[in-house]
Amino acid sequence: MRDDKIPAFSLTEQVAALRPELEDAWHRVLDSGQYILGPEVEAFEQEVQSLLGVPAVGVANGSDALLLALQALHVGPGDEVVTTPFTFFATAGSISRLGAVPVFADVNPDTFNVDPDQALARVTPRTRAILPVHLFGLMADTLRLVEGFAGPVVEDAAQAILASQGGRWAGTVGDVGCFSLYPTKNLGAFGDGGFITSRRPELGEAVRRLRAHGATAKYYHVELGMNSRLDALQAALLRVKLRHLRAWTERRVALADRYRAGFAACGLQEAVRPQVVPAGFAAVYHQFTVRADRRDALLEWLAAHGVGATVYYPHPLHLLPAFAHLGYREGSLPAAEQLCREALSLPLYPELRFEQVDRVVDIIAAFYRGPA
Ligand SMILES: Cc1ncc(COP(=O)(O)O)c(C=O)c1O
Dump pLDDT digits (tens) for 104-127. Answer: 999 999 999 999 999 999 999 999
Taking the centre of ligand 1 as the mean of its atom positions, its distance from the CA of residue 221, in whole angstroms, is: 28
Taking the centre of ligand 1 as the mean of its atom positions, its distance from the CA of residue 354, in whole angstroms, is: 28
Question: Residues of 221-259 as b/e, b for ≥16 C-beta within 10 angstroms?
Answer: eeeebbebbbbbbbbbbbbbbbebbeebbebbbebbebb
Averaged pLDDT score across all residues of the chain: 97
Asked whether this chain's domains 18-242 and 245-369 adopt the same fold, the reply is no
Mean pLDDT confidence for 52-66: 98
Measured CA distances, 285 to 99, 173, 186, 326, 370 (Å): 33, 19, 8, 32, 29
Share of the chain above pLDDT 90, in %: 98
pTM of the predicted structure, to 2 decimals: 0.98
pLDDT at 371: 75
Is-contact 171 155, C-beta < 8 A? yes
Task: Name the residue at shortest CA distance from atom 8 of ligand 1.
Answer: 62
Closest atom of ligand 1 to CA, residue 192: 10
Taking the centre of ligand 1 as the mean of its atom positions, its distance from the CA of residue 160, in whole angstroms, is: 11
pLDDT at 372: 59
For residue 160, is pLDDT > 80?
A: yes
Mean pLDDT confidence for 171-188: 98
pLDDT at 1: 45
What does the alpha-carbon distance between residue 245 and residue 226 come to, in Å, rounded to a whole number? 30
Taking the centre of ligand 1 as the mean of its atom positions, its distance from the CA of residue 31, in whole angstroms, is: 31
pLDDT at 248: 98
Taking the centre of ligand 1 as the mean of its atom positions, its distance from the CA of residue 90, in whole angstroms, is: 6
Taking the centre of ligand 1 as the mean of its atom positions, its distance from the CA of residue 7, in whole angstroms, is: 21
For residue 2, is pLDDT > 70?
A: no
Mutate to test the pocket of ligand 1, among 159, 286, 287 (most ligand atoms within 8 A of CB): 159
Dump pLDDT digits (tens) for 225-281. Answer: 999 999 999 999 999 999 999 999 999 999 999 999 999 999 998 999 999 999 999
* Environment class of 287 (CB within 10 Å of its CB; exposed 0-12, middle 13-18, buried 19+): buried
- How is domain 18-242 classified at the CATH fold level? Aspartate Aminotransferase; domain 2 (3.40.640)
pLDDT at 3: 54
CATH code for the domain defined by 245-369:
3.90.1150.10
Mutate to test the pocket of ligand 1, among 61, 66, 83, 180 (most ligand atoms within 8 A of CB): 180
Taking the centre of ligand 1 as the mean of its atom positions, its distance from the CA of residue 371, in whole angstroms, is: 40
pLDDT at 180: 98
Q: How many CB atoms lie within 10 A of CB 24?
A: 11
- All structural domains of the chain with their residue ranges: 18-242, 245-369
Mean pLDDT confidence for 32-56: 97
pLDDT band at 167 (very low <50, low <70, confident <90, very high): very high
Closest atom of ligand 1 to CA, residue 90: 4
For residue 220, is pLDDT > 90?
A: yes
Task: Name the residue at shortest CA distance from atom 10 of ligand 1.
Answer: 62
Amino acid at 55: P
Closest atom of ligand 1 to CA, residue 135: 1
pLDDT at 91: 98
Amino acid at 96: S
Mean pLDDT confidence for 342-364: 98
Task: Name the residue at shortest CA distance from atom 7 of ligand 1.
Answer: 62
Which amino acids bring their CB within 6 angstroms of ligand 1? 61-63, 87-88, 90-91, 133, 156, 158-159, 180, 182, 192, 194
Mean pLDDT confidence for 318-329: 98
Dump pLDDT digits (tens) for 70-108. Answer: 999 999 999 999 999 999 999 999 999 999 999 999 999
Taking the centre of ligand 1 as the mean of its atom positions, its distance from the CA of residue 159, in whole angstroms, is: 7
What does the alpha-carbon distance between residue 204 and residue 196 come to, in Å, rounded to a whole number? 8
pLDDT at 58: 98
